[in-house]
């Protein structure tokens, strides 16, 4: 294919309110990005009641298209995958990160690294993908820049390398100094972008120059060595300071982003690395979005293209079953740009209308060999509930619904070895709500929830299990693959248990792929 722009596919990892939406909007503006469905994120209303679900999904039905955004900047096609905010936090948020090649970590300079950033970071770390850091809200009185770097290094065990350096902050903010360019981006109230050589920045006061020069010298002496290799392996994060709201430092960030972010890399499938330029098409489904309209059981499977090229109407094989499928005219595909896409390249995301063929983690491909991309990791659940059908006579639909929804990746399923109870696990409340809604609307089963106070899961990977493993503080269950899992109420209960049972080896989920 000619005239194909290189792809840079990324998602933002951040804690709510750090400025993800604002930064995304500013980046889209710079690239003349395509923003379908009105806004990047429509609602900002916090928690919603289950009864609002239908309405929310209606909105989301539209916003599905905007969960992948595209822009062209400096001869690069940038694909941005939206990661839902706090109230929507679910396994989908984690799964989205398996489909990107780079993550941009947005940190609020006042708050530093927050809980959700840390969780999302773990997924990126697991995959060793490059992480670029944007420290936001420089127009506010935040933590000292050096302290922020130390916090990243200590908390995330990742080297940092500042690409620019703030001159003041909050009310005293007067600019940011670009380390590679030796220029200053001057901060002014009207948000006009002004970049001048450092030597000519006469507006800087003597004490500002002194502090800046001292800090830059310190960074040169005590800072890390920059190599592209460390960036690409996720061992070192280039750090940018700025203020998304004031569009300050955003363009400088984007200019470097197109250089530093990774292009689609070879990915492991069936034990071998598959290069993006492999002539055979392949891709994997990382997310399935149900259409909440009960009259249509259609779902949308989000496919990350990994190799070859995707064309509308092509015949592919679903690796898990060997089933041939024609992605024909009656199926519609879309990316953000148009309702339908006719072709897509490695790094791109396409939505496939699905009537129930796909499972999260599925590979589809063409060519002689049926390859299978690596399984989705086990994401450790933090919320658990015992469930039963309100009407015991509906046990058939109940089991069918659970089976299908678990297969789609809506929820995780556990069983107690002693009782017939099902326990469902999730990383976010939203998953429970979706599960409840869909069980009722698609399978006509009302579910009774009994929420549990446990919030930690540990897989027992080594050691002898005893009979009395379940008590008021912990519970022994089995996961879908019949692996033993202990659920603990809190860290204290876990530590107490570990002290008493030093021979048992416990894994967090992240570490058992
Ligand atoms: P998200 O939850 O991470 O998507 O965060 P938003 O982009 O919605 O921003 C959260 C809040 O922080 C909003 O009120 C923004 O206007 C504000 N905000 C974003 N960037 C900045 C910034 O650079 N400076 C200041 N002072 N506020 C910001």
- What number is the ipTM of this complex? 0.99
Q: Measured from the CA of 14, which atom of ligand 1 is nearest?
A: 3
Structure tokens at 249: 């430092």
Under 8 Å between Cβ of 40 and 21: yes
Residue 426 CB–ligand 1 contact under 6 Å: no
Residue ranges and CATH numbers for the domains of the chain are 7-169+225-260 (3.40.50.300), 267-365 (3.40.50.300), 383-507 (3.30.70.3280)
Structure tokens at 300: 């949308």
Is 19 annotated among the ligand-binding residues?
yes
Please choose from 44, 117, 242, 245 the residue to mutate so as to test ligand 1's pocket, defined by most ligand atoms within 8 A of CB.
245
Which pLDDT score is estimated for 513? 55
Is 14 annotated among the ligand-binding residues?
yes
Residue from 338, 339, 341, 337 nearest 327 by CA: 341
- Find the 75 Cα to ligand 1 centroid distance in Å: 29
What is the rounded CA–CA span in Å between residue 380 and residue 403? 20
Radius of gyration for the chain, computed over Cα atoms and rounded to the nearest angstrom = 24
Residue 114 CB–ligand 1 contact under 6 Å: no
What is the rounded CA–CA span in Å between residue 241 and residue 248? 9
Q: How do the pLDDT tens digits run along the chain, 513 residues long?
A: 435 789 999 999 999 999 998 999 899 888 865 543 223 333 333 333 323 334 444 444 333 334 778 888 999 999 999 887 777 788 888 999 999 999 999 999 999 999 999 999 999 999 999 999 999 999 999 999 999 999 999 999 999 999 999 999 999 999 999 999 999 999 987 778 899 999 999 999 999 999 999 999 999 999 999 999 999 999 999 999 999 999 999 999 999 999 999 999 999 999 999 999 999 999 999 988 776 555 666 677 889 999 999 888 899 999 999 999 988 643 444 444 444 567 789 999 888 878 788 889 999 999 888 999 988 888 899 999 999 999 989 999 999 999 989 988 899 999 987 777 899 999 988 899 889 988 998 899 999 999 999 999 999 999 988 767 778 788 999 998 889 999 999 999 999 999 999 999 999 887 765
What is the rounded CA–CA span in Å between residue 41 and residue 133? 21
Helix, strand, or coil here: 499? helix
Which pLDDT score is estimated for 3? 56
- Find the 21 Cα to ligand 1 centroid distance in Å: 7
DSSP string, 283-335: EEEEEEEE---TT---EEEEEEEEES-EETT-EEEETTTTEEEE--TTS-EE-
Which pLDDT score is estimated for 340? 56
Residue 56: is it exposed, middle or buried by C-beta count within 10 angstroms (0-12/13-18/19+)? buried
Residue from 374, 380, 382 nearest 509 by CA: 380
Residue 214: is it exposed, middle or buried by C-beta count within 10 angstroms (0-12/13-18/19+)? exposed
Name the β-bridge partners of 185. 176, 195
Beta strands in 84-235, from DSSP E residues, in sequence order: 102-108, 131-136, 159-162, 164-167, 175-178, 183-186, 194-197
Which pLDDT score is estimated for 375? 83
HSE (CB half, 13 Å, CA atoms) of 343?
6
Give the phi and the psi of residue 277 in degrees, each rounded to 5. Answer: -90, 10
Under 8 Å between Cβ of 304 and 377: no
Is 136 annotated among the ligand-binding residues?
yes
Scan for tokens 């446990």, then name that residue: 454
What is the rounded CA–CA span in Å between residue 274 and residue 88? 33
- Find the 57 Cα to ligand 1 centroid distance in Å: 25
What is the rounded CA–CA span in Å between residue 84 and residue 428? 11
């Amino acid at each position: 294919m000619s005239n194909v722009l290189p792809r840079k596919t990324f998602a933002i990892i951040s804690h709510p309110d750090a400025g993800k939406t604002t930064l995304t909007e500013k980046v889209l503006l710079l690239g003349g990005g395509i923003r379908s469905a009105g806004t990047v994120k429509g609602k900002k209303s916090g928690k919603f009641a289950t009864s609002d679900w239908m309405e929310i999904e209606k909105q989301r039905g539209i916003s599905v298209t905007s969960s992948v955004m595209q822009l062209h900047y400096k001869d690069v096609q940038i694909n941005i995958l939206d990661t839902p905010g706090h109230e929507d936090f679910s396994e989908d948020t984690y799964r989205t990160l398996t489909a990107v090649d780079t993550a941009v970590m947005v940190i609020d300079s006042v708050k530093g690294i927050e809980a959700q950033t840390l969780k999302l970071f773990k997924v990126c770390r697991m995959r060793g993908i490059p992480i670029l850091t944007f420290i936001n809200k420089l127009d506010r009185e935040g933590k000292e820049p050096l302290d922020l770097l130390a916090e990243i290094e200590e908390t995330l065990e990742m080297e940092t390398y500042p690409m620019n350096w703030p001159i003041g902050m909050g009310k005293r903010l007067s600019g940011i100094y670009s380390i590679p360019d030796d220029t200053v981006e001057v901060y002014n109230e009207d948000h006009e972008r002004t970049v001048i050589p450092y030597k000519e920045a006469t507006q800087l006061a003597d004490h500002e120059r002194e502090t800046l020069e001292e800090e830059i010298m310190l960074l040169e002496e005590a800072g890390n060595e920059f190599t592209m290799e460390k960036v690409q392996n996720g061992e070192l994060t280039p750090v940018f300071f700025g203020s998304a709201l004031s569009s300050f430092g955003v363009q400088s960030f984007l200019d470097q982003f197109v250089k530093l972010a990774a292009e689609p890399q070879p990915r492991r499938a069936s034990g071998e690395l598959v290069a993006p330029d492999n002539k055979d098409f392949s891709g994997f489904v990382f997310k399935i979005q149900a259409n909440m309209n009960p009259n249509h059981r259609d779902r949308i499977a989000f496919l990350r293209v990994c190799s070859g090229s995707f064309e509308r109407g092509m015949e592919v094989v679903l690796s898990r079953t060997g089933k041939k499928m024609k992605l024909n005219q009656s199926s519609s595909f879309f990316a953000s740009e148009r309702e339908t896409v006719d072709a897509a390249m490695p790094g791109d995301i396409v939505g496939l209308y699905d009537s129930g063929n796909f499972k999260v983690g599925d590979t589809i491909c063409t060519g002689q060999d049926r390859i299978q991309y690596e399984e989705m990791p086990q994401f450790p659940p933090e919320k658990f509930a015992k469930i039963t059908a309100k009407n015991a006579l509906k046990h058939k639909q109940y089991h069918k619904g659970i089976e299908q929804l678990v297969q789609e990746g809506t929820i995780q399923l556990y069983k107690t070895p002693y009782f017939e109870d099902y326990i469902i696990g999730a990383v976010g409340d939203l998953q429970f709500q979706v599960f409840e809604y869909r069980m009722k609307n698609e399978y006509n089963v009302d579910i009774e929830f009994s929420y549990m106070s446990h919030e930690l899961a540990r897989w027992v990977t080594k050691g002898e299990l005893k009979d009395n493993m379940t008590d008021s503080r912990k519970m022994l269950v089995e996961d879908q693959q019949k692996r033993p899992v202990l659920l603990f109420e809190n860290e204290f209960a876990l530590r107490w248990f570990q002290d008493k049972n030093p021979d048992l080896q416990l894994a967090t989920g992240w570490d058992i792929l």
